[in-house]
A and B are shown apart, each in its own frame.
Chain A
Amino acid sequence: MDTANIIFILIAIGAIALFAKNLKTINRNINLGKDVDISDNKSERWKKMLMIAIGQSKMVKKPISGFLHIIVYVGFIIINIEVLEILTDGIFGTHRFFASFLGPLYDVLIFSFEWLAFLVLVACVIFLIRRNMLSIRRFGLKEMMGWPKTDANIILVVEVLLMGAFLTMNASDYLLQGLNANHYIVAGSYPISANLIAPLMDGMSISSLVAIERATWWFHIIGIFAFLNYLPYSKHFHIMLAFPNVFYSKLNPKGQFTNMESVKKEVEMMFDPAADPYAAPAEPVGEPERFGVKDVTDLSWKSLMDAYSCTECGRCSEQCPANITGKLLSPRKIMMDTRDRLEEVGKNIDKHGKDYSDGKSLLGDYISEEELWACTTCNACVEACPVSIDPLSIIVEMRRSLIMEDSKAPSELTGMLSNIENNGAPWQFATADRLNWRDEK
């Protein structure tokens, strides 16, 4: 084992440890949400995950971006096999270790990596063009200005660089194999790099080629470690959470909103003829529960997982009738705000301990009433999301807080609600007139 292997091992351990620490923080943050039990219908959940997350069934509803995404997704998964080899080589100082026992299968493997790397590279370049040169509405909405746009571009540029380094590494290796260079065993099939990149390096000396091969090898693997640790700060974290997020998503009909248990108990009391209206109220157990959601910690852990799973593609906002017609509401912004606020709350806990309050809240400081009241609860955003995020449940929970905690609603809604309360209809008609249609013409 020489110095290079030791340096490699230290970098690998450091990168993985840092990533594990970040994962722990995200897991802690998600668990700041309210506990809900989602352990039912396991087989249906696996099926849904297989279809939507693994099978990308919703991605392809948009054929162009769906197809390109599948290339990047499959590329990412398959090329990870190559990362395993790189790790082995890095630790033990071997070279193309897998070739020693895979035989002809190794050629097939490298052949497919080459093609996938090339296709991923092309797909990412097209994605960059779509984001930066074409005017696609969902990429240009207000909430994408600044960091979110930079984040998207960083991810794509890094992927282009990683794939470029991988192919350049293969090209120099291919040439070194041809020159019978020491240590470079003849292995692998290089349909892309041998034809597209190797000609550019034709005639280089063995030492130059080795330098290029080593440099791109290190760049590729250090790039992967760096990217791994970029994920927790990026929308790209969806590559981790898309799968569990679909698994835990709502199986009930989309129109079915939760019935609040805390309210149910009170209403049942009112309907119970045996209940004693003068009885002393039962001693509340623990802290009184607030109605609806004001801050991220009032949301369920599933809504918080939703926020970390969002990759800001904007398919939700593109389908949102309110957003299309120029209202302030953008379901994507609801998710981005939820994550931003959750990370802020998490940082506060890290810095000041778990009981610290900064006096801010998701509702009010991040999401405005105007946004919430623009929603038609049409479920278009929920339907559109490729990873089964439910922005609507957050919107409705916040409306509950506005109405039941703060008594804040647009005045027409207050009127509608008191009509229901007084005469059992959202309009001011008398119950006695309900059957008038029978005798009218």
Chain B
Amino acid sequence: MSEQSMNVNTMAEMMAKGETADVLFWVGCAGSFDDRAKKITRAFVKILNHVGVNFAVLGTEESCTGDPAKRAGNEFLFQMQAMGNIQVLNAYEVKKIVTTCPHCFNTLKNEYPSLGGDYNVMHHSQFLQELINDGRLTIEGGAFKGKKITFHDPCYLGRANDVYEAPRSLIEKLDAELVEMKRCKSKGLCCGAGGAQMFKEAEPGNKEINVERTEEALETKSDIVAVGCPFCMTMMTDGVKNKNKEEDVLVYDLSELIAQANDL
């Protein structure tokens, strides 16, 4: 991947310049702090820059959406986070949000409106598909031509919000062979990270969920496991390592695949 400097403004910087952004990129905590997920963030920004999308981030004004607090049962902390974020978002008069994290996506889209935060929220797979549909983004596909790619549905994108097709259409645009796992789409198996499990050891059992899911992904004999969620990224990457397959099978986020295909 060639490294070029990225053009990223915060909402505050835009405002100081007297400009407004068409869309807010909600980076999320994983995308901001997790080393692997930061690569997803940068890949997505490269695409946005490449297309020339007028976007901004909140930077240090962004705070956790409250998703893990809510799923863990701490409604109080969730609503504190939500209302704090809504104040910031409404102050910048944000209308449209895109995020690379399905957990942020779900929370912003579904749980903020009744607390006073009503936005047009998109997962980056939907946003990228929209760019393609509008003719603003074309995918060369070269690097992945003929490669077998399987897509692991994030629960909070798939079952939780019925988005199954956007990620798949992106993979097909890569001229790659999309191979489905036995449990896919509405029957997709969780990676094991949802519901705040990401932040704790699993309860006692006979297997880790991410290993169960990785075995299924490996059965497809794919070259690449595509994900659309930073937590799925962690779980699937760990799973592939657990199976000693990290030399043969790569785990990439959708935005990384597109950025690579376009040599960004």
- Cβ-defined partner of A421 (8 Å) among B62, B77, B106, B206: B77
Whether A327 and B29, one on each chain, are in contact in the complex, defined by CB atoms closer than 8 angstroms, is no
- Cβ-defined partner of B70 (8 Å) among A257, A268, A329, A373: A257
Cα A407 to Cα B67 in complex, Å, equals: 18
Q: Is A355 an interface residue (CB 8 A)?
A: no
Stretch at the interface among A275-283, A332-340, A376-384: A376-384
Stretch at the interface among A78-86, A119-127, A144-152, A426-434: A426-434
Complex interface: chain B residues within 8 A of A417 (CB): 68-69, 72, 74, 77
Whether B195 and A377, one on each chain, are in contact in the complex, defined by CB atoms closer than 8 angstroms, is yes
Whether A267 and B76, one on each chain, are in contact in the complex, defined by CB atoms closer than 8 angstroms, is yes
Complex interface: chain A residues within 8 A of B161 (CB): 253-255
- B residues 209-225 touching A (CB-CB < 8 Å): 209, 212-213
| A326-B207, A376-B193, A380-B189 known; A425-B80 Cβ under 8 A | no
Whether B79 and A259, one on each chain, are in contact in the complex, defined by CB atoms closer than 8 angstroms, is yes
Q: How many residues of B contact A (CB 8 A)?
A: 72
Whether A412 and B72, one on each chain, are in contact in the complex, defined by CB atoms closer than 8 angstroms, is no
| A378-B195, A435-B10 known; A404-B73 Cβ under 8 A | yes
Whether A403 and B74, one on each chain, are in contact in the complex, defined by CB atoms closer than 8 angstroms, is yes
Cα A379 to Cα B115 in complex, Å, equals: 23
Separation in Å of the B237 CB from the closest CB of chain A?
17
Whether A328 and B194, one on each chain, are in contact in the complex, defined by CB atoms closer than 8 angstroms, is no
- A residues 2-43 touching B (CB-CB < 8 Å): none
Complex interface: chain A residues within 8 A of B238 (CB): none
Whether B159 and A383, one on each chain, are in contact in the complex, defined by CB atoms closer than 8 angstroms, is yes
Separation in Å of the B157 CB from the closest CB of chain A?
9
Complex interface: chain A residues within 8 A of B197 (CB): 376
Cα A417 to Cα B73 in complex, Å, equals: 10
Q: Is A242 an interface residue (CB 8 A)?
A: no
Cα A41 to Cα B201 in complex, Å, equals: 41
Q: Is A420 an interface residue (CB 8 A)?
A: yes
Separation in Å of the B97 CB from the closest CB of chain A?
16
- Cβ-defined partner of A375 (8 Å) among B75, B81, B187, B195: B195
Complex interface: chain A residues within 8 A of B23 (CB): none
Cα A396 to Cα B79 in complex, Å, equals: 15
Complex interface: chain A residues within 8 A of B71 (CB): 257, 377, 396, 399
Q: Is B132 an interface residue (CB 8 A)?
A: no
Complex interface: chain B residues within 8 A of A421 (CB): 77, 80
- Cβ-defined partner of A376 (8 Å) among B29, B63, B192: B192
Separation in Å of the A78 CB from the closest CB of chain B?
31
Whether B60 and A435, one on each chain, are in contact in the complex, defined by CB atoms closer than 8 angstroms, is yes
Whether B189 and A373, one on each chain, are in contact in the complex, defined by CB atoms closer than 8 angstroms, is no
* Most chain A beta-carbon neighbours within 10 Å: one of B42, B199, B207: B199
Whether B205 and A259, one on each chain, are in contact in the complex, defined by CB atoms closer than 8 angstroms, is no
Complex interface: chain A residues within 8 A of B63 (CB): 424-425, 431
Whether B32 and A380, one on each chain, are in contact in the complex, defined by CB atoms closer than 8 angstroms, is no
Whether B190 and A378, one on each chain, are in contact in the complex, defined by CB atoms closer than 8 angstroms, is yes
Whether A319 and B194, one on each chain, are in contact in the complex, defined by CB atoms closer than 8 angstroms, is no
Whether A268 and B83, one on each chain, are in contact in the complex, defined by CB atoms closer than 8 angstroms, is yes
- A residues 250-307 touching B (CB-CB < 8 Å): 252-257, 259-260, 263-264, 266-268, 270-271, 291-292
Cα A432 to Cα B69 in complex, Å, equals: 21
Whether A425 and B79, one on each chain, are in contact in the complex, defined by CB atoms closer than 8 angstroms, is no
17 pairs from A and B in contact (CB 8 Å cutoff): A252-B110, A253-B161, A263-B76, A267-B76, A321-B212, A325-B207, A376-B192, A376-B195, A401-B73, A404-B74, A409-B72, A413-B199, A420-B77, A421-B77, A424-B81, A429-B32, A434-B33
Told that A255-B161, A256-B160 touch, could you supply 5 new A-B pairs with CB distance under 8 A? A253-B106, A325-B202, A325-B208, A382-B159, A402-B73
- Which residues of B pack against A, CB within 8 Å? 3, 6, 8, 10, 27, 29, 31-34, 38, 41-42, 57, 59-60, 62-64, 66, 68-77, 79-81, 83-84, 87, 106, 109-111, 114-115, 155-156, 159-162, 186-187, 189-190, 192-209, 212-213
